[in-house]
């Protein structure tokens, strides 16, 4: 099947402005949804343009394999009758020429939340919930997705403030036949005590498929200045074809991906009163 995997940016980014609160965008929704189909189409285009002989209709084969499943199984995977009809009508043409597949593909979404009782000018606890709408094409044994989170603090006067990591982890929920069957807590790997952490997401743990998760992080002020707000960037990296890839954390801010891919950003900030803006 697929021998090489990498973490393509499934384009879930909650991007923050690095040094000035006034540059944060506030007109974006607190939830973003990205289609696996859109990412596979983009990845196929890149593969064909940079590695002309390396693509052998792998994604078309994945959709045909999914379409061949019994309707009852597809229902258990989360597909509606209309989505099943779209899959059954697919005959293996290039996926970019069959845009209806977008309506029958899994989407992953993420949302930031915080609570007044867990946020203060001294310490803040922030959550990012992510979830798949149905079982994605790439989710079998041995496949590991990855999430990354980065933060930047400002004080009550809007000046840059180092906010230190206290703890971070993810709770991942596994589902089988539309029912939650298992839950796993994973400790994040700290990349920088003042700005970044990563967490692996094992897509199949032998009991079910990872369809939901919550990344949580606790931060605290450093020095005598109190926290005014913290900007959060969250990235969900979904496994797909091609060579190796890694996250990067440039000094200028943000989360980079090598090689780079088109990204969708949603700017958010969390105040010390627990309000998500």
Give the pLDDT confidence of 184-211 residue by residue, as tens digits: 999 999 998 888 999 999 999 999 999 9
Asked, as a colleague might, if the bond just before 196 is cis with ω within 30 of 0, I would say no
Q: State the pLDDT at residue 143.
A: 86
- The β-bridge partners of 146 are 200, 237
Cα 72 from chain centroid (whole Å): 28
**Per-residue pLDDT tens over the stretch 42-92:** 888 877 777 656 667 889 999 999 999 999 999 999 999 999 999 999 999
Distances (CA, A) of 73 to 7, 22, 106, 277: 27, 50, 15, 40
For the chain, the first-to-last Cα distance in angstroms comes to 43
Rounded mean pLDDT of 257-275? 67
- What is the reported pLDDT for 273? 96
Which whole number is the average pLDDT over 203-232? 95
Tokens of 107: 């989407």
Of 130, 105, 143, the C-alpha closest to 8 is 143
Q: Which domains does the chain have, with CATH numbers?
A: 6-33+107-271 (2.60.40), 44-104 (no CATH)
| Of 55, 56, 241, 215, the residue nearest 138 (C-alpha) | 241
* CB proximity list for 16: less than 8 A, separation 6 or greater: 24, 150, 151, 152, 231, 232, 233, 253, 267, 268, 269
pLDDT (mean) for 15-36: 52
Strand, coil or helix: what is 76? helix
Residue 8 near residue 36 (C-beta atoms within 8 A): no
- Quote the CA–CA distance of 31 and 265 in Å, as a whole number: 11
Q: Between residues 7 and 122, which one has the greater pLDDT?
A: 122
Which is more confident, 228 or 234?
Answer: 228
Residue 28 has pLDDT above 90, yes or no: no
CA distance 263 to 255: 11
Average pLDDT rounded to a whole number, residues 9-32: 43
Residues in CB range of 159: below 8 A, 6 or more apart: 225
Q: Output the pLDDT for position 29.
A: 60
How many other C-beta atoms can be found within 10 angstroms of the C-beta atom of residue 23? 11
State the maximum Cα–Cα separation within the chain, in Å, rounded to a whole number. 64
């Amino acid at each position: 099947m697929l021998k090489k995997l990498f973490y393509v940016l499934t384009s879930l980014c909650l991007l923050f402005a690095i040094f000035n609160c006034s540059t944060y965008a506030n007109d974006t929704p607190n939830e973003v949804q990205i289609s696996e189909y859109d990412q596979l189409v983009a990845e196929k285009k890149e593969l064909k343009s940079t590695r002309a002989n390396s693509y052998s209709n792998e994604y078309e084969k994945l959709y045909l394999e999914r379409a061949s499943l019994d309707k009852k199984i597809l229902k258990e995977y989360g597909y509606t009758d209309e989505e099943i009809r779209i899959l059954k009508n697919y005959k293996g043409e290039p996926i970019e020429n069959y845009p209806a597949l977008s309506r029958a593909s899994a989407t992953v979404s993420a949302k930031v939340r915080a609570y007044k009782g867990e946020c203060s000018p001294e310490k803040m606890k922030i959550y990012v919930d992510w979830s798949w709408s149905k079982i994605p094409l790439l989710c079998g044994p041995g496949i590991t997705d990855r999430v990354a989170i980065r933060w930047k603090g400002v004080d009550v006067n809007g000046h840059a403030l180092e906010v230190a990591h206290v703890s971070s982890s993810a709770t991942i929920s596994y589902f089988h036949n539309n029912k939650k069957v298992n839950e796993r807590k994973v400790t994040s790997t700290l990349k920088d005590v003042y700005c970044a952490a990563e967490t692996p997401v094992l897509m199949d743990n032998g009991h079910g498929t990872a369809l939901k998760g919550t990344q949580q992080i606790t931060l605290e002020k450093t020095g005598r200045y109190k926290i005014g707000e913290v900007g959060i960037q969250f990235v969900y990296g979904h496994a797909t074809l091609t060579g190796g890839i890694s996250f990067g954390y440039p000094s200028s801010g943000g989360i980079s991906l090598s090689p780079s891919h088109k990204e969708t950003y949603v700017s958010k900030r969390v105040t010390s009163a627990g309000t998500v803006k």
